[in-house]
A = this chain, B = another copy of it.
Amino acid sequence: MADSTRVMVDFRTEPSRYRHWKLSIDGRVATLAMDVDEAGGLVPGYELKLNSYDLGVDIELHDAIQRLRFEHPEVGAVLLTSGKERIFCAGANIRMLNQSSHGWKVNFCKFTNETRNGIEEATAESRQTWICAVNGPCAGGGYELALACDHIVMADDGSTTVALPEVPLLAVLPGTGGLTRLVDKRRVRRDRADFFCTLEEGIKGQRAVEWRLVDEVVPRSRLEETARRRAAEAAGRSDRPAGARGISLSPLERTLDGDGIRYRHVSCVLDRVRGIAEITVASPTVPAPAGLTAVHEQGADFWPLALARELDDLILHLRCNEEEIGVWVLRTTGSPDSVEAHDRLLLDHQSDWLLREIRLFLKRVFKRLDVTSRSIFALIEPGSCFAGTLLELALAADRAYMLDGQREGDARPAPLVRLTGVNFGAYPMVNGLSRLASRFLDEPARADDLKGRVGQDLDAAAALDAGLVTFAPDDIDWDDEVRIALEERTAFSPDALTGMEASLRFGGPETLESKIFSRLSAWQNWIFQRPNAVGAKGALKVYGTGERADFDRRRV
């Protein structure tokens, strides 16, 4: 059995290298057709039959979503369909799942969930509405992809169905948002959802509309025309500028060098012995552009966008390729003034399509950090630059340590932190709250009060008093306190930490997204450990062999 985790996964790609998707653009409407290359699996050991997908297919989908948002401001709607004649999509590849380690399965599901959440964000906030044309059987993860779209049109042709057959066929859940989106997004009545999710063959035709599983069914001959019309209508309602020029997402430069990972603004050193990644994020090195035109000219070089791309890639890289690095230590360097100037551009031009996209991208990156199953500590030391957008890193951390005063033998001044306008709602978490609001659930007014301190430099005592940092040891205590905290953290059970962090990071309200990452993913992870799914006679194990699964009948 191949251990999928041995493959080094690169999340960087571009349309010319796509093997599984066909992207075309016609005025205000883009079409993204899933046309999976059976032989194009990311890992040896399986064929991607029936338009099924693996992580490699999803990496391309994720790239396509990003590029549509940044490179195509004129596109107001995206039509998602299948490029195959007889199948829409059979979902995640079962053989791939079957041969994967537990960690690979969990990580794969997390990425695919984030990608589908991104489709919904594109619809709601980028005003690029996703419309799905279901032109053949659409099962499991295939239907979950459709569920992420704003409108689902299905062919009424006798063979096209939507189905979530995971429970009856595989003894796992439709875990890429399926169960949650059924009842919470599409508001399918719970008893109908129960029936539907136990039905191998799925549901077609008018009943699928009546049960709210799809939005409309039309004869196969009218499917494309109908879906195109829906897409054109949605594009017509979009505020995206038809005449604007997109920003080219040029190839992301990255150097992997032993235990070092380097981008332009972000670097990371892995301490494999201690299991720690030391991540440093640098402020802009050049002054902020003078205005909107200059931002557009900088394009992918504009610091907030470059930062988002680099951090995003690093998070995905570490999650997938460095499982044994359990603690991420975040540091920053540079000029708070420069960060604040860039933040001001993001806020002053919120209605500009590009600055909106950049803010949304940063929001997604910070959300990725929040749902990452690694312990995250921020260290705020002399020379650091935890201001505005970069302060979100400290607010996303499980703990922040800030040096109180200077270090002996170090002429640099004591560290300071600075709030900017972006800390008050520009980057909401999956629970819908800003990180400040999530932090002060006990005093909801406190986050608002802090608005009065925007732009001020807060020293350790002030930051501690404001509740922005956890601890503020002085130079005498710093080394021991930080060292012990890290040593302890790396000694605890990785699983217990994952469950603890997932519980403590998300107080307060719940949303569709937070429910997917909490309830649904946690249950799926549990099931991915259960012998009834993954044991020698488990359903996932015997699928396709002709053997029957043999279940332990005890309910727990």
Instruction: Find chain B residues with CB under 8 A from A554 CB.
Output: 103, 323-324, 494
- CB–CB A529/B529 < 8 A: yes
**Chain B min CB distance to A208 (Å):** 15
A389 at the interface (CB under 8 A from B): no
B499 in contact with A523 (CB, 8 Å): yes
Q: Is the CB of A191 within 8 A of B498?
A: no
Q: Is B399 within 8 A of A194, CB to CB?
A: yes
- Pick the most buried of A470, A506, A556: most chain B CB atoms within 10 A of its CB: A556
Residues of B near A323 (CB, < 8 A) are 554-556
Q: Of B192, B373, B510, which contacts A555 at CB under 8 A?
A: B373
Residues 490-506 (chain A) with a chain B CB within 8 angstroms: 492-506
A553: Cβ under 8 A from any B Cβ: yes
Contact assessment for A492 and B168 in the assembled complex, using a CB-CB cutoff below 8 Å:
yes
Complex contact A173–B510 (CB within 8 A)? no
Tell me, yes or no, whether A167 is within 8 Å of chain B by CB: yes
> Do residues A529 and B526 form an inter-chain contact, with CB atoms below 8 A?
yes
Q: Are B190 and A439 in contact (CB under 8 A)?
A: yes
Query: Using Cβ atoms and an 8 Å threshold, which residues of chain B touch A187?
Result: 441-442, 507
Q: Which residue of B lies closest to A107 (CB)?
A: B556
How far does the Cβ of A288 sit from chain B's closest Cβ, in whole Å?
31
Q: Considering residues A190, A498, A506, which has the most beta carbons from chain B within 10 angstroms of its beta carbon?
A: A190
Separation of A164 and B555 alpha carbons in the complex (Å): 29
| A374 on interface, CB distance cutoff 8 Å | yes
How many residues of A sit at the interface, in one of the four size bands? 35 or more
Q: Are B494 and A553 in contact (CB under 8 A)?
A: yes
Q: Given the known inter-chain contacts A493-B539, A553-B494, please indicate yes or no for A173 contacting B499, CB distance below 8 A.
A: yes
A548 to chain B, nearest CB (A): 10
Question: Residue on B with the closest CB to A186?
Answer: B442
Query: Given A187-B441, A442-B212, A526-B529 in contact, is the A555-B103 Cβ separation under 8 Å?
Result: yes
Q: How far is the CA of A187 from the CA of B192 in the complex (A)?
A: 37
- Does A275 sit at the interface, judged by CB under 8 A? yes
> Per-residue CB proximity of A395-409 to B under 8 Å, as 1/0?
001111000000000
Would you call A172 and B496 a contact (CB within 8 A)? yes
Question: What CA separation (Å) do A182 and B495 show in the bound complex?
Answer: 20
Q: How far is the CB of A525 from chain B (nearest CB, A)?
A: 5
Check A237 for interface membership: any CB of B closer than 8 A: no
Residues of B within 8 A of A168 (CB): 488, 492
A556 CA to B437 CA in the complex, in Å?
28
Is A440 an interface residue, CB under 8 A from the partner?
Answer: yes
User: Inside 8 A of A173's CB, which chain B residues have their CB?
Assistant: 496, 499-500, 503
Interface hub of A183, A495, A551 (most chain B Cβ within 10 A) = A495
Q: Which chain B residue lies CB-closest to A508?
A: B184
Contact between B518 and A499, CB atoms less than 8 A apart: no
7 further A-B contacts with Cβ under 8 Å, apart from A184-B508, A499-B524, are A180-B503, A197-B504, A326-B553, A494-B555, A497-B555, A498-B556, A522-B525
Instruction: Give 23 pairs: A residue, B residue, CB < 8 Å, sorted on A.
Output: A107-B556, A184-B441, A187-B442, A187-B507, A191-B399, A194-B470, A194-B500, A198-B489, A323-B554, A324-B553, A373-B556, A493-B539, A494-B556, A498-B555, A499-B526, A499-B527, A502-B523, A503-B519, A522-B522, A525-B526, A525-B556, A529-B529, A529-B530
Residues of A within 8 A of B (CB): 102-103, 106-107, 166-168, 170-173, 179-180, 182-184, 187-195, 197-198, 212, 275, 323-326, 373-374, 397-400, 438-442, 467, 470-471, 488-489, 492-510, 515, 518-520, 522-527, 529-530, 532-533, 539, 549, 551-556
